[in-house]
Structure formats: C-alpha cells, structure tokens
Amino acid sequence: MNFAFSDDQLALASTVRDVLRDHCPPSAVRTGRDRRPAWAELAGIGLFGLLVPEEYGGLGLGLADAVLALEETGRAALPGPVAETVAAAPALLAGEDDLLTALAAGRTAVSVRIGDQVYVPDADLADLLVLTDGGRPYAVPAAGALLTLQAGVDPVRRLYAVAFEPRAGRPVGGDPLAALRRVTVAVAAQLVGAARHLLATSVGHAGTRRQFGAPVGSFQAVKHQLADVAIAIEFAAPLVYRAALSVDADLPTAARDVSAAKAAAGEAAERAARTALQVHGAIGYTAELDLRLWLARVWSLSAAYGGTAVHRSHLREALLASPAPRRWP
Amino acid sequence: MNIVVCVKQVPDTATERKLRSDDKTLDRDAADGVVNELDEYAVEEALRLKEAHGGEVTVLTMGPGRATETIRKALAMGADKAVHLSDDALHGSDALATSYAMAQTLKKIGFDLVILGSESTDARTGVLAAMLAERLGTPQLTLANKVDVDGTAIAIQRVTDYGFDKVEATLPAVVSVVEKINDPRYPSFKGIMAAKKKKVETLGIADAEIAAELVGLAGAWSEVAEFAAAPPRAAGTIVKDEGDGGTKTADFLASKKFI
C-alpha cells in the first residue's frame, strides 16, 4: 500500500499555496481580515467544493485529498472560517440540495457551533451558520443571528456568541459527529501548516540575527530548540494524514485517530510558537512583527474543537478502554 | 482554430542556477523545474482565444522526461492535449537547433496559430518566435501585449520602447507574448483532476522527422567555451560626510559617467 500523496493531491496543495502567496500575504492577514482575502480566488479554483458530492457541482473528494491544501491555509494564516466551510459544512448540510450547490460554487462561507463548542469562529465573516441546538443542527443565515464578539487571543480568528430565533433556523439533516471529526482534522492540518511557517520564520531569523560575532542559529541552545520543533512537526503530520484517511473510510478507530492528530498537531504548533517567540527575542513580542499573527492563530486553533488535554484524555480512553483518573479531588 | 502553445520547463528562478561542468549545459537536476513564467501568459492567451473563437489548444514542449510536470500544469489550466518532444539526441540544442526541432514538430502536428512566451528565464535568447516563423514560413507577431483574431485575420499590439506598434497578418502565424498581456488563471481543482485523462503524445526525433545531425550539442552553432561563477558582490565604499558629502557624491556619479 502506498501512503505517499498522489500527484493530484500535491497539485491541489501547490495551487492553493500559489493563490495564497499572491492574495494572502501577511499584510492581508493583518489588515484585510474583514474582506476575506483570497476567498474569491480559492472559490474560483474549487476549494470549497472539494468535499461536496459531484451531483451538487463539487468534486466528491475526501478529507485525505484536502488535508495538504488545508495545511497551506494554516501556513498562510488565511483569515475566515476555512476549516468549517471546507470540512464541516459538506457533512452538516448533507441532503440539503440548494445549500450544497451554493457551497460547492463557493458562494457560501459557513461557520459552525458543534460538539462542545460554545462560540462560533469568524461568525461575522460567514454567510451561513450551522448551529447545533439540543444535538440537532440548524442552518441560520448569518444575517438572522445575533452575534456578540468575545474577548479572544487572536485578533483575526474572532469568536462570537451567537443567538438565533428558533424559527429563523432551518433544521438540516447532516451528521454533527461526522462534521466535528472532519473539522477537527482540518484544524489539526492548519496547525501543522502554521507550525511549519513558524519554524521556517524562526530558522530564517536565527540565520541572519547575529550576536557574539555569529548568527544566533549557530549556537546549540538555539539549534536544538528548532530541531525539537522540526521533530514535533514531522511526528504530528503523519497522524493528521492518518486521521483524514480514517475519517474518510469511517474506520472504528476514527475517533482515536482524530484525537491523536489534534493532540499532536496542537502540541507541535504550541512548541513551534513558544520556540519562535524565544528565538526572535524581544522583537517577537512586538505587535509590529508579523510573527504575532501566527502565534495568536496557533493559540486559538490549538484550543478549538477540543484542546490538547481533552484529546489526550480521549486517546487514553480509546487505548486503555478506561476513563482518565481524576487528578484532583 | 487550432492553437499550439509552446511551453518550456525552466529551473526555478528563486533558486541558484548552475551549468554542468562536463558538457557546459544547464544542470536541470540542480533546481526544481517550473513552467517558464512568460509561457503561462501564452497558455492563458491561447485559452482565452479558444474560449472566444472555439477550437483546440495543444501544448508543445521539448525537454527531458521530467518536463511532463510542465505539461500537466498547462493541461490543468485548460489546454486540451499535449505533445512532448523528448529525445536524448536533443540534449544541448542551441536556439537554432531548438527552432528546427520545434518547427519540424509543428509541421507534423499542424497549427493555425502558435503562441509562445517572448523569452525563457533560463536561456533568455528571445529569438525562438522569430526563428520558428522563418522556418515555418509564416508571419511573426512578436512581443504582443494584445491579440485580436477575426476569422483568419490577426492583429497584435507589439510593445516597443516608445509605446506600441499595431501589427496585422493572416493566419497561420507565430505570436510571442509579454507579461502585460493578461493575468494567467490558476489551475482549478477540476482542471487538475481532468489533466491526467488528457492525451499526451510523446515524440522522438524520428517521429518528428528531425535529422539527428542538426540538433543536440554536436549540431549546435553556438558553444559555451567556458564559464565562471558570478563574482560575489563587492562591499560598498562608505564615505564619511565632513561637509563635502555633496562633492564626493557628485565625484562618484561622475566617475561612473552618470553625470
């Protein structure tokens, strides 16, 4: 069995990367959030229809085909509810012909509140919200919901409390659990992408910033930290790819694999963020340096759809078939 | 309209490009291969002409086996089929030999319009369009930043130092385009998936009736005698301003014949 990505999957990712390089530079992440940079171009190439069945104008592909493209959206820190629109919406809107058609055509940005989520990410940038209420998903036009901005760590990925009139919501027939698993893997892929960007940026800085007559990257204390980040990323990425395959095939291990992916990707990205901040020194703290946009994104995404601790405890339950011991009375 | 777009795989301009020490040709393994940037504009223009006037777009590339990556990209953008001229005997061909090989292939596959980028980022000779037109006996419309086709009439705007010339001809013709002509599309996901189902015909020199003695290193009219790495950039001179900074600046500019 060949686990390498196919030429098509690599080409999808490199196209997304080209689009984001041209249309989502750091300046667009910093100041262009509200106009959803690169979304029109990504809709044009068909990113938002990737997981939508072909009869609705989508490509009918699986998460494994999308995972590298999603990684690129994390690498670029693309603003907007990307993971939700690409990965969660097709599962939640299953059977809703009109909504799926609009989604595949790239006309609808979707954000969601499923699972244990309390807030809706980037609800103000979405056209349609899919909210679970009592375990049932409802589709609510964003214009018909009351959005209240919450204080959050990421100035770009904003969290909203959402209230809606029950009669303004349309019950939809999709599967919230399938959507939750997909969006969790999508976010894990974005974390891997963000971590790769942080590592590349830190290595670049360590190679040019000089102290004691040498680039700081020549010192072991710096080198080793960056090497640890590289190792963490290389260990996390295959777990994310594996989880995508497990979800596509609906394997019995899907829940376990999703948790392993999210925990590993979150830990790798948090390590990348912490190390990037350390390696950049005092300048890393400044609002003017683009680094902070990626740091904030990592902190925001690693808490989304279950933080590392939650997924580690799910993983423990799946492996040992026993609930985690209580560590406090 | 039968449009043929000539595309070339070149080493990524973002990486260091090298010549091989043995035969002094381009070291294609030293860098990633990408589509020559100007050729992407040529592909886009061909697709737009096809969308406006109907017909078919064929991609033609000459290069080693890995040039299929370049073909795939052009097919993903929307070209209909491809011809890959690939033969070890072609290795080391100069511009004259390349134009001969390409012209032979074009004669074989047929065309109403040949479009190519005005130059490649690796060799940068910029002469292929003119040579092709001469060998094919067709009009050459080079350095176009606008192309209009009406029946068998074709008109372009040729970019010049002072603005542009209007050049008109009748098909068949050879057109080379500059980067101002359009905004190349991104390959869509549907296009990427459809690309592998499209027909790619691989031809050797015998298939295209190319005489082996006229191509390759041996058949080249030009030869790289020797080459050296570009010298590292010298450190600049820092002049301390002691009230005479203006004079020193003027002296420097005068020494370089700027003033």
- Residue A130 structure tokens: 């899919």
Torsion-angle region of B82 (φ positive above 0: left; ψ -120 to 50: alpha; else: beta): beta
Over residues A47-58, the pLDDT tens digits come to: 999 999 999 999
User: What Rg do the C-alpha atoms of chain A give, in angstroms?
Assistant: 20
A15 contacts on B by Cβ (under 8 Å):
186-187, 189, 192
| B186·A41 Cβ contact <8 A | yes
Report the alpha-carbon distance of residue A243 to residue A253 in Å, rounded: 9
| B192·A47 Cβ contact <8 A | no
Q: Give the Cα-Cα-Cα angle A104, A108, A109 (nearest 5 degrees).
A: 115
C-alpha distances in Å from residue B191, one per residue of B7, B51, B75, B118, B198: 18, 15, 7, 26, 10
| A11·B188 Cβ contact <8 A | no
The owner of tokens 């609009």 is: A102
Supply the pLDDT for residue A56.
95
Half-sphere exposure of B106 (CA within 13 A, CB side): 31
Omega before A329 within 30 of 0, i.e. cis:
no
Q: How far apart are the first and last CA of chain B?
A: 54
Q: Answer whether B36's CB lies under 8 Å from B57's CB.
A: no
Using the Cα atoms of residue A79, residue A117, residue A71 and residue A248 in order, give the sign of their dihedral: negative
Q: Which residue segments constitute the domains of chain B, with CATH numbers given?
A: 2-225 (3.40.50.620)
Cα A313 to the chain's mean position, in Å? 21
Reported as a pLDDT band with limits 50, 70 and 90, residue B33 is confident
Reported pTM = 0.87
Over residues A228-262, the pLDDT tens digits come to: 999 999 999 999 999 999 999 999 999 999 999 99
Q: Answer whether A160's CB lies under 8 Å from A150's CB.
A: yes
Supply the pLDDT for residue A324.
64
Average pLDDT over residues A27-42: 95
Report the alpha-carbon distance of residue A269 to residue B218 in Å, rounded: 55
**How distant is the Cα of B44 from the closest Cα of chain A, in angstroms?**
15
Is ipTM over 0.85? no
Reported as a pLDDT band with limits 50, 70 and 90, residue B192 is very high
Question: Which residue in A has a C-alpha nearest to residue B197's C-alpha?
Answer: A8
A13 contacts on B by Cβ (under 8 Å):
none
Domain ranges of chain A: 176-321
Half-sphere exposure of B121 (CA within 13 A, CB side): 18
Over residues A293-323, the pLDDT tens digits come to: 999 999 999 999 999 999 999 999 888 877 6
Supply the pLDDT for residue A1.
59
Provide CATH code, domain A176-321: 1.20.140.10
C-alpha distances in Å from residue B236, one per residue of B39, B233, B239: 37, 9, 10
DSSP A169-238: -EE----HHHHHHHHHHHHHHHHHHHHHHHHHHHHHHHHH-EETTEEGGGSHHHHHHHHHHHHHHHHHHH
**How distant is the Cα of A263 from the closest Cα of chain B, in angstroms?**
30
Q: Answer whether A167's CB lies under 8 Å from A134's CB.
A: no
Over residues B148-178, the pLDDT tens digits come to: 999 899 999 999 989 899 999 998 999 999 9
For residue B249, which phi and psi values (nearest 5 degrees)?
-60, -45
What's the burial of A94, exposed, middle or buried (CB within 10 Å: 0-12/13-18/19+)? middle
pLDDT above 80 for A72 = yes
Q: How many CB pairs under 8 A join A and B?
A: 33
User: What is Dmax (Cα atoms) for chain B?
Assistant: 74
Question: Which residue in A has a C-alpha nearest to residue B191's C-alpha?
Answer: A45
Q: How far apart are the first and last CA of chain A?
A: 48
**B113-117/B2-7 β-pairing:** parallel
Question: Which residue in B has a C-alpha nearest to residue A45's C-alpha?
Answer: B188
Reported as a pLDDT band with limits 50, 70 and 90, residue B218 is confident
